[in-house]
Every structure is written in C-alpha cells, then in structure tokens.
Amino acid sequence: MSSPPPFKRQKTSYFVESNQNNSPIIFDKLSHSNGMGTNGEANELDEGLYSRQLYVLGTEGMRRMATSDLLISGLGGLGLEIAKNIILAGVRSVTLHDPSPVSWSDLSSHFFAGVDDVGHGKAEISKHKLAELNTHVSVHILNKPKLAADDLKKFTVVILTQTTHENCVEVGNVCHELGVKFIVAKTNGVFGKVFCDFGEDFTVVDPTGEDPPSVMVQQIEKSKQGLVTCLEETRHDFEDGDYVTFSEVRGMSELNGCEPRKVAVIGPEAFTIGDTSSFGTYISGGVCTKVKMPKKFRFKSYVDAFRQPEFMTTDFTKFDRPSQLHLYFAAISDYMQQHKGCLPGAWSQVDAQEFLKSVITVNESLKDTGAFVNDIDEPLCALFAYTCGGQCCPIQAVIGGFAAQEAMKACTGKFIPIQQWCYFDATECLPQPAVHSSNRCSDLVGEGDATACESRYDGQIAIFGKQFQQKLTRLKYFLVGAGAIGCELLKNFALMGVGASPCGKITITDMDSIERSNLNRQFLFRPWDISKMKATVAAAAVKRMNPELNIDAHENRVGPETENVYDDSFFEGLDGVANALDNIEARTYMDRRCVYYRKPLLESGTLGTKGNVQVVIPYLTQSYSSSQVSQI
C-alpha cells in the first residue's frame, strides 16, 4: 500500500544467437523484432502509468505490447478476465467477439454484467467498461457469428475461450498456417485449461526476466581451453552452452567487455571459455557475467498437439491428472452433440454416466496417439461431469490470469511460454466424495440443491449447492489492503457473494489514496478516482458489481494505534481475515491478531511474475510468522 518507487530505465542488454558456423552473433534487444507486432515507430510509453510493469517487461517489451493487436472470442467471465488483464497491460487494441446473450449463470463470474443485462449481448455490454480501463488501448467489437481467415490474419494473438474442441481445431489450423499466435482457455466448474501455439519458429529473447548472474573469478588459464576458476567455495551455476562475458580482469584485459564466449562446465567452480592463448597473462580480479541467449521454440498446431500432448505440471501431487483432464475436456463436445448442445446436469448421476460413455468413446478414438489414457479415473470423471456446467469466479480468475500472461509472452518474447497444455483443478474445494464399491462418487451435493433458480449465483450454485451459497453470504470478513491484490479479492468476493446478506459483511481498510501508477494494476480505479481513498472507491465499485454486497470501507492503518477500532468485539465477530499488504510489519501484526483470536488468515503477495499464497487455519497449519518459507 506504499507509494511505488520512481521509474528507472532498464539497461539495454545483449543477447546471443548462433549461426551455422556456431559462432555467436551479437544483437541488441531493442532492434530484434522476433516477428511481433511493430509499426516501426518509437512510440512514447506512458511511464507514469506503466512504471511497475516496465520493471518486469522492460522498455522494448512494453513497446512490443503497444504495437500488438489481440482478438478475444468468448466474453463470459473467463474471456472478460483475460480482456481486463490484457487491456491493463497496454496492448494496442483488443477486439471482442461474442454475440451470445448474458445468462443468469454468467453473473457468477461476469463482473461487468448485472441483472438488467441478462439477455443482452456480452460483447456489447462489456466494450464500454473495458475501454475505461486504459485509454491507450482501442477496444472494438467483431460482429460476426463465425471467425474467418480474413479476420484472423489481422491479429498478433487470437484467444478462444469457452468454445468447442471442433472450433479450436478449425481456428487453430488457420492461425498456425497464418503465423498468428493462438491461445485457448477454458473452465468448467473447478477445472481449467490453457493451450498455446506460437508457431513453428518462436523466439524468446529473455527466458527469465531476471538480472543475469555473475561470479567472481580467481584464475583464468592462458590456454586453448581457457579454464576459468571461481573464488573458493563459489559456485557459478552456469550450464553447458551458456554464454558469458567479463569485466574488471587485470592482466588478461582482452576479456573485459569481450564478445560473449561459450561455456563448457568442468565442475561447480570451474568452466572453460575457449582459446585464450593469444591473450595477456592473467594477474588478478575479474567478474564473469552470464549473457542471456534467445531460445527458439517450435509449437505444434492445436490438432497435432492434442493427439501428442505435452503437459506443464502445476501440481506434483496430481502428476497423472493432466492426461485425464485432457480427455474429459475433449469429451465435452461429444457429449453435447449427443444431448442437443447441453452439458451434464449439476450433480446428476444419470448424466455423469452418460458423460463417462462419451469419455470412453473419445478415448477409443485416440488409441494410437499419445493422448490415449490406459485407465480412466471414474470418480474424477464423475466429479468433472457433476460440476462442469458451473462457473466459478476464482477458477476463471486463475485461468484468465494464466492466459493473459501467455498472451503477453506472445507479444513481447519475454519469459518461457507454456509447452503446450496446462491443466488446473481445485477439486479440494468440493465435498470429498465417498467412493462406493461400484467405484462411483456419492451424490453429496444433490441435484435439487444445485438446481438453477434465476439467481446471480446460479453458476456457483451448480458447483457447490444452495446451502453452501447461503454460508458464503453470511460470512464476515476483514480485508486489509485495497491495492492490486485487494481489488482482485474484492471482485472475487463480490461475485461469489461473500458477505452479501444482512447477516454477512466485508470490512475493508486502506489508508492510501489512489495514484496514477495504480491504474495499471488496480482495476477498480479509474483516472477520475485519482487522489480519492482506495478503500472507499473500491467498496463503491464492487457494490455496483453486486448491489447485494454488505461492505464497510475504512481508511485506517492496522496496528496498535487502531486497536480501539479493531478491538475484541470486532475480531470475535469475524469469520476470517484476508491480507492484501505490501510490507512485512503489517503482515506480521495481522498474523499475531489472527493467532490471538483464532481466526483463519488468507495471506498472499506478488513480485513481478512471481507470487505466493498461504492459507493459515487455526490448530491445523503454521501461522504466517512461524513459516520458514520466504514471503513475497
């Protein structure tokens, strides 16, 4: 919640490519186009708005973003989440494609749609509010029922959401032929996936986004091999094929500022850099620094990658899960073809059995491919069928964040993209089903409890049931911080219905006012909110999303000086606390209060593209302050 640091220009760094003679070619990252969108102009970046993001992407990365045009097809909660993230990031234009109307189920995750919007086109109701997020980004609507090649070729990246397997094959093939980056994102219940195809010759100019490592030198041999020894007990962490350069070398001065030299690792403290026999004699000193080298990636088309999938593991406790989910998501299309376009009913055992038949059919068709599954996990398949018709805002926020980040990688060439499938699930959120001797999941929620009732929470009720929804609306939560994480938590709480009843309540506090640099990350704020208090503006914004929300905004600092406000009565009445703070002092203070009053704590933080989440449950987990894991 503190003020951001002043913007600091990043230094231009060098990258190395190899030619056919295996000799390094040096080129400046500011002149390397990578086939990404560029109009050849040195556009002025709004450094005041993008100050924090410039630290992560760099000036050239931001310029690539600002010359990229994206198409997003599918404007449900997931597509809207992706559009919101990409527009805040600062691309040149975003085109929306979705003529379908808003349904009651959409209101569980569509943060720009209200009850009065049910029946109206999703793209139409989203355009104006999305355009408000960033005046540097043009937002358009493509009013066509179906995407054609002439439409697709205009874009840097095409993103499909919540569409059929057949449509992904068709559009994916066209994009692959045209060289257009292609992303698929989809969620069903508590399950989600992201697919990426960035073409057959995609270059990542900066794989990590981090400062290149350096090591102090103890000795450099004058020889054909050019053996370099690090200071005693100093590991270099280089790998074979890395490139390095030198500075501050005394004696063998030819190495200072030299063209990058290829490394061959000898041991943890030694490596060779090639012929140094013609150089001067090494005397002392020297710093060896790794030079980032572009990496080439070859992506398969959607249809080829589907049949021979490569999975990115997100949870090593569910190592076999991606291959199962790969099959289930594909089977949705087969099921819908057999059932007049309908998904399995919420928690319907009959429909779950029918869905299993579709899974078996699709699996048989994949028998001679890498996507074939030897043993179908029938209990997991049943859970997928029970919940796949639901829409869960937090799941769509996660998958939408993944997809938007991949789109930014496609535009900038920075960071390693997903190769090529990423599956995610949160089955831990569901009632843990008993498994009968027949190997079927028991119907713990019940069809009646999950039936749609023209409620704004219908999408969530289809997953968790009405009784669970009532519990959410009665929760009393204290949210500390209304910055980037705080805004996202508030949005999710509002759509979930947390505290959305006379018995429930969200209390939010933040002592900071809104600054221009906040607008790039804190999407509840607009330019006309600058200088206003964050908590007050954020509370009003989510109240517009869900008028049923019961929320109270404070402008207090949390600490000993406000214990007359957040006293025994206040804490004892809470069901939990969520921290959205940016300093250790306030975090540890809130942790102590939660331990004292035995309240659950949701702790999180971000640093660039990294983040952490810690769930603290009284008598079950470590507290925040007791954890040995480094916090962000």
463 located within any domain: no
- With respect to residue 70, please indicate whether it lies within any of the assigned structural domains: no
DSSP 3-state of 374? coil
For residues 144-169, give the mean pLDDT: 95
CATH number at residue 238: 2.40.30.180
Taking only the tens place, the pLDDT of each residue in 375-393 is 999 999 999 999 999 999 9
Query: Is 125 part of any domain?
Result: no
Beta-carbon count within 10 A of 496 CB: 22
Q: How confident is the model at residue 233 (pLDDT cuts 50, 70, 90)?
A: confident
Query: Number of C-alpha atoms within 13 angstroms, CB side, residue 161?
Result: 27
Residue 628: per-residue pLDDT: 54
Does 394 have pLDDT greater than 60? Answer: yes
For the record, the structure tokens of 197 come out as 């195809």
54 confidence band (pLDDT: 50, 70, 90): confident
Would you state the pLDDT for residue 632? Answer: 55
Structure tokens at 566: 């957040």
Residue-number span of the structural domain to which 599 is assigned: 474-616
Q: Using CA of residue 558, residue 563, residue 564, residue 565, what is the dihedral sign?
A: positive
The answer on pLDDT for 225 being more than 90 is yes
Over residues 319-348, the mean pLDDT reads 95
- Going by the DSSP 8-state scheme, the letter that residue 471 receives in this structure is H
Gap between the Cα atoms of 410 and 299, Å rounded: 12
- The verdict on residue 549 lying in a domain is yes
How far apart CA 555 and CA 19 sit, in angstroms, is 59
* Helix spans in 478-567 (H): 484-496, 534-545
Give the per-residue pLDDT at 46. Answer: 87
Which distant-in-sequence residues (6+ apart) come within 8 Å of 414 by Cβ?
57, 58, 61, 204, 205, 206, 209, 408
| CATH value at residue 548 | 3.40.50.720
Work out the pLDDT band at 17, boundaries 50, 70, 90.
Answer: very low
Choose one of 291, 320, 338: the last residue of a domain. Answer: 291
The tokens describing 223, both together, are 């020889």
Q: Is residue 140 part of a domain?
A: no
pTM value? 0.86
Query: In what helix (H) or strand (E) does residue 610 lie, and over which residues does it extend?
Result: strand 610-616
Confirm whether 40 is domain-assigned.
Answer: no
Distances (CA, A) of 612 to 121, 405, 497, 629: 37, 17, 24, 10
User: Which of these ranges, 24-38, 98-112, 207-221, 356-370, has the smallest mean pLDDT?
Assistant: 24-38
Can you tell me the mean pLDDT for 94-114? 93
pLDDT tens per residue across span 478-528: 999 999 999 999 999 999 999 999 999 999 999 999 999 999 999 999 999
Calculate Rg over the CA atoms of the chain.
27
Give the domain-ending residue among 274, 291, 308: 291
> How much is the mean pLDDT over the chain?
89
Point out the domain boundary residue: 228, 262, 291.
291
Using CA atoms, how far apart are residues 359 and 578, in angstroms rounded to an integer? 40
CB 162 within 8 A of CB 74: yes
Which tens digit of pLDDT belongs to each residue from 545-562?
Answer: 999 999 999 999 999 999
Contacts of 183 (CB under 8 A, 6+ apart): 157, 158, 159, 160, 194, 195, 196, 197, 403, 406, 407, 410
Alpha-carbon distance of 589 to 572, in angstroms, equals: 17
Give the β-pairing of 214-220 and 202-204: unpaired
CA distance 157 to 75: 16
First CA to last CA across the chain, in angstroms? Answer: 14
Residue 424 has pLDDT above 50, yes or no: yes
CA angle 373, 377, 381 (to 5 degrees): 105
Q: Is residue 92 part of a domain?
A: no
Count of domains in the chain? 2
> Who contacts 199 (Cβ-Cβ below 8 Å, separation ≥6)?
35, 176, 179, 181, 299
pLDDT > 70 in the chain, percent = 90
370: alpha, beta or left? (left if phi > 0; alpha if psi -120 to 50): alpha
Strands 505-509 and 476-480: parallel
Percent of the chain whose predicted confidence (pLDDT) is above 90: 79
Tell me, yes or no, whether 128 lies in a domain.
Answer: no
Rounded Cα–Cα distance for residues 307 and 30 (Å)? 38
Residue 280 has pLDDT above 60, yes or no: yes
Return the minimum-mean-pLDDT range out of 354-358, 434-438, 488-492, 566-570. Answer: 434-438
pLDDT at 441 over 80: no
